Structure 1
Amino acid sequence: MTTFASDMRELGKQVRNWGRWGADDERGTTNLITPERIAAAAQLIRTGEVFELGIPLDADGPQPGGNRINPIRLMSENGQEQVLPGGFKWADDYVFMPLQAGSQYDSLSHVHYDGQLYNGHPGDGVTVKGADKCGIHTQAKGITGRGVLLDIARHRGVDWLEAGSVIGPDELDDVAKAQGVEIGPGDIVLFRTGWRAKFLAEKDPAGFMAGEPGLGLATAAWLRERDVAVVGSDNWAIEVMPGENPGALFELHMVLIRDMGMTLAEMLDFEELAEACAADGRYDFFYAGPPLKFTRGVGSPINPLAIR
């Protein structure tokens, strides 16, 4: 196995996908989800069971304020004062929310460093008007294909991992082996830390956001070697928080998004799906999770489905 650097910038150079799908590419690793792989993933649907992986978009979510808030939904019409022909009544509502509230994708314009986005696109192209390159709209054909759940919490025998608990490549291999699944090119890999279960049990947004268990920096190489298309979790930032290197912030975000071109799915709910997978031992499924088509957006709320 190749030895990969622990320094974030050196690691980024080693796992970088720039130019792999052309100099103008803005989609990154979702290019690995080919029509052939989607067709093969469809064969994983056996019973037609559908599991929703998105958390509710309401005021009871885990984002307490600051940079991001839970969605605020307001009624613009409720029909109560309407007098219309034939007794017709109608209602409308609208919502105010960050595009990264609740279950969400990080687009490839979400983070950058040293003045460059994924594939060398200029970082200053992200302005008050949004992202002129690598916006979430570039994923609009949908993110769908073979999903694999790696249930880290169940493998460790705990309800949830503790904040600051690092998940490394060896553990990902161990869990995959124990579950009888192999991770391959174009897969959408979802890992369960139990962090959603913790929130449901404690109802403590501040505690949910104060830290988290998650992937360590070394897993970037693991994901790159297997050509994973998308990685997602039930935590809020994919990577372990606090991070492994004091004085650095979101290093895995920078390597995965900026260097590898990998879309991240955050704050998903795997509780029902995990129970079903454990019951019959099937941990792969058809995943359907298109983003909303916000032009130049740097993220999008989602409600992905796992279909078995």
Structure 2
Amino acid sequence: MTHQSDNKRWQQRPEGANWGDFGTDDQLGRVNLLTAEQVLKGAREVLTGNVFSLSLPLDLPGGNALNPRRFPPRLSPTRLDGNDYVNFPLSRVHEGLLDVISDDEVVLSLQYSSQWDSLAHVGALFDADGDGHAERCYYNGYRAKADIQHLSAVDGEASASRARRLGIEHMAVHGMQGRGVLVDLARVFGTGRTLVGYAELMHAMKTLDVTVEAGDMLVLRTGFAEEVMRMGGRPDTTLLKRTGAVLDGRDDALLEWIGDSQIATLCADNYAVENADHELDGTECCKLPLHHHCLFKLGLPLAELWYLGPLANWLAAHGRSRFMLTAPPLRLPGAIGSPVTPVATV
């Protein structure tokens, strides 16, 4: 059953969605649950001051075997008047002494390595107008073309994109800071490929004595990013397909738990969080049902390819699962995703 509304952008919302619950023009979704109180909860978990970077080097996994659309970052000098500004003599201070400057730029696929998905990353065909015709729309009824724009190439210029609504900058301004809670799936199930639904997740949480509360930033370790790091920029896709747990986005009980739990974000060290290798059987509507449920319906940001091994080992050694998590994306207006260097403080 859909929720009826007099909202200016949508007349009905998908079943199980929270569109409108945070306001007519909300662009943050469940990030709204990262309140000042959640930041304080995170701060209360800081007992030793130890800090862990949760980012892979941003040139990993290496190549484009994991996703043919995405390539490693390419650094190059900035240029002026035909000069490359690396080791460039900028000015003569006095005879025999020069100021030397190096200045660079990067071409970067924003979701190549450790990353956030913004709420503009996944939408769906849905009859938001209630007129019997499905439209391409995103969280809270924002629309393709009007709000998530694709500008075609003209006169030799490259095509362009811009999320006029739901861009990553809204998450950056909010800060993305609060209490992180780690569920170490690799410690429970090993680092082989395991499909994790509701039953498996509850088993892992019980085994590890982990409790997740509303507003928490849930973090899942599977061992995938650690294997990527060991491969050193030469990913073995055959091996990686057998590595690490993935969430079962086709498990309705799991999706219901994600909705009911009121977690603010869902972060993982694997590629896509969910099982992206499942082949559609002709009866399913979504290739990535967890993305559909979280990004499109709930406004729940997903994070991928975080490097969690050292943090997980430290927490296990100290009988802990909670920490302060600080993970703002780039404040890049209109971007659909962003690299991130998350920091866990314990």
- Normalising by the residue count of structure 1, what TM-score does the alignment of the two structures yield? 0.88
Aligned residue type for 1:131:
A
- Please point out which of 272, 288, 292 is paired with 1:254: 292
Conserved 8 A contact 1:211-1:242: no
Deviation, 1:300, is 0.7
Q: Which residue of 2 aligns with 1:27?
A: 28
Query: Which protein is richer in helix relative to its size?
Result: 1
- Where in structure 2 are the equivalents of 1:152-167 lying within 5 Å? 152-156=185-189, 158=190, 160-162=191-193, 165-167=194-196
1:121 maps to what in 2?
142
Higher deviation after alignment, 171-180 or 36-45:
171-180
Matching residue of 1:4: none
What do the CA deviations read for 1:165-206 (whole angstroms, capped 9, x no partner)?
311112222222222221011111111111112223345435
Q: Which residue does 2:121 correspond to in 1?
A: 110
SS at match of 1:123: coil
For residue 133 of structure 1, the aligned residue among 165, 173, 176 is 165
User: Hey, what's the Cα distance between the residues in 2 that align with 1:101 and 1:50?
Assistant: 24
Q: Which has the higher strand share?
A: 2
Report the 3-state secondary structure (helix = DSSP H, G, I; strand = E; otherwise coil) of the residue aligned with 2:101: coil
**Structure 1: unaligned runs, 5 residues or longer:** 1-11
Question: What is the aligned-residue RMSD (CA, Å)?
Answer: 2.1
Letter in 1 for 2:192: L
Aligned to 1:147: 180
Within the candidate set 339, 343, 346, 1:301 is matched to 339
Identify the match of residue 110 of structure 2 among 92, 99, 103: 99
Runs ≥4 residues deviating over 3 A = 59-65, 80-83, 201-204, 208-213, 244-248
Matched residue, 2:131: none
For 1:210 and 1:71, how far apart are their aligned partners in 2? 24
Moved more, 283-292 or 246-255: 246-255
- Preserved CA contact (<8 Å) 2:168 2:335: yes
Aligned partner letter, 1:190: V
**Does the Cα contact within 8 Å between 1:189 and 1:232 map onto a contact in 2?**
yes
Whether 1:88 aligns to 2:90 is no
Q: Which amino acid aligns with 2:205?
A: A
Of residues 186, 193, 199 in structure 1, which corresponds to 2:228? 199
Report the alpha carbon displacement of residue 41 of structure 1 after superposing the two structures with TM. Answer: 1.5
Bigger-Rg structure (1/2): 2
* Counterpart-to-counterpart distance in 1, 2:248 and 2:279: 7
Q: Find the aligned partners of 1:15 and 1:210 in 2 and give their Cα distance.
A: 31
Letter in 2 for 1:108: L
Judge conservation of contact 1:209–1:236 (CA < 8 Å) in 2: no
**What is the number of residues matched between the two proteins?**
293
Structure 1 distance, partners of 2:241, 2:201, is: 24
Deviations 1:35-90 (A, max 9, x none): 11211221100100100001112366364462101111123322255563143222
Aligned pair in 2 of structure 1 residues 62, 175: CA closer, same or farther (>3 Å)? farther
Which of 212, 217, 228 is equivalent to 1:183?
A: 212
Task: Work out which of the residue numbers 238, 247, 261 in structure 2 matches 1:215.
Answer: 247
Unmatched runs of 5 consecutive residues or more in structure 2: 1-12, 79-84, 126-135, 151-160
Report the identity percentage. Answer: 31
TM-score of the superposed pair, with normalisation by structure 2: 0.79
**Counterpart of 2:235 in structure 1: which amino acid?**
P
Tell me the CA shift for residue 152 of structure 1.
Answer: 0.5
